[in-house]
Structure 1
């Protein structure tokens, strides 16, 4: 999504810098600082940092306080891509309170607020900058909002014009169930991920391939063809797994974002992987 956004903005993908990560797949602040320094030395002008809360593979969370320090020193915009993971802040507020340091934040309610596709959201802490950026003239600003304290209507300047009322389903869900129901459901998903990780570590034929930061679990069978195992697991139809590549190894990936998941469903993943491995040739 980040290279796509850079291309759509006209910045050019060649101007996107990928920053090295640590052994837990989190952005390294020292590598970030070095990349900024290298660009400045080459006469380039860094403009923004994109940190991630909940990477798509392992759910890793970048060290936001340290990254925010770099952004402050270098006078750079800090955007947090929280499409999947940022909603864990409902269940883990003490772990993600540094989200308040971001200038902007994106999230997808259809991922961890249990909404149907497609429902995304952008949170922006600088409405004055938004108006200046997206408005064509001072008169146009006045048309959008007579009161400068009011929010900015981003839908007037987005790539889409006609669209459905996506926010209605989320608003109704929050009004009907209340925030506590979502907080409790997310906490259960986090617990289910830890339960699966423990079950994997307890089984001699399986191994974890990445730390479990949120609700994604990446593992593999130590001896069998994991691609064949994945095909067989999904063909059996009892559980469904996706895949990922972790340190050049093919991983079986389970991600818990369903409020109906039970402990039995979680433990069945291990039994299904072992059963599928028994049906796969060495």
Structure 2
């Protein structure tokens, strides 16, 4: 069985996992991304047209891809997000699609809280000033007693809530699929999106990209926020209307933002966000720790074997 691994992080784990896969009859191919973050559908087809399985990263897993891979039986999307997958086409072509949910809860939650801390205490601004020879006394904000609004109460959202509560923050959650008992067990309050926007000092987005969550943070949401509030996005770039966010940041109608993800990735060189001093930038790297990569890669192999062998 031909297995193609296009996820860059997973490719780094192949020396450790190669014997397991080969013992189960897989012939492994790992095409080089050569500085790219992902393959287009047409590029993928060059490697996968005769493949039985693929462990993919943020590649273009579109109808074109599935039509060009008639032998494909299993697609494992390394990591959590599946918004790049055309599920309808996969189903039509008889391809089982799986991902590796839950493997990065702590890693992404750590990143979210690191952004909250950096925004609250303005640590990057202070670092840059000291590096330039200054000795600033920049006033920050205390987390204890501040309200954190979390959008999304899945594994990552819950891990964020645990950390926020440990800092003594008051936590509000928006998630139409979260049960009252789950929220109660965590000691947090469910609310609606408008209230969360209005009352939160920090808003953290940790929900998936769906039709319902597209541009969840729009002009209306941002207008409702406090002028001393911050937006942190560790979910998906399409959760935020970047044009509306840029206007809010330029006008100081909100205090700042930390973005690990963007509507277009990598962040375009001409993006107006780059010129703003009240934004902290990430590179869609919240899950990337040594432990997290190993965990997700192990899970990918487990899922693959469950689908094709067991």
Q: TM-score, normalised by structure 1?
A: 0.28
Q: As a proportion of its length, which structure holds more helix?
A: 1
TM-score by length of structure 2 reads 0.27
